[in-house]
Structure 1
């Protein structure tokens, strides 16, 4: 695999996928209601060089899945 797959995480995590994975993030009962947005995720991801963009497509998908798995575990 190449050291960098190029592009950014939006080629893997679309807004539709983001909204499906974080289905209840904007529920009124959620203390962080309105905090987690797709654009904020993209902005943050772009600040970390190589995050979700290094390696082949399967490696990038695994990295993003691990990230969302861990953050979901810690925040729900």
Structure 2
């Protein structure tokens, strides 16, 4: 079962939420939130956990959905795939 991560607007910026311990992460800009979410997704994929990352726009519409397949001990980083 993949881990789900969402980047979405909040009242005072942007949040990264999902199957994370410690609650949502808050950011001032969408770009920073998206980069943090992608970094997290890569780390989880490196650890062997498949990840689905979904990014939302200010109006709530989906901007993108990406799959980060688990690659654990494999050499080289797997690229995210648009889902």
Alignment TM-score > 0.5, same fold: no
Whose strand fraction is larger, Structure 1's or Structure 2's? 2
Whichever structure has more helix as a proportion of its residues is 1
What's the TM-score, normalizing by structure 2?
Answer: 0.35
Structure number with higher relative contact order (C-alpha < 8 Å, ≥ 6 residues apart)? 1
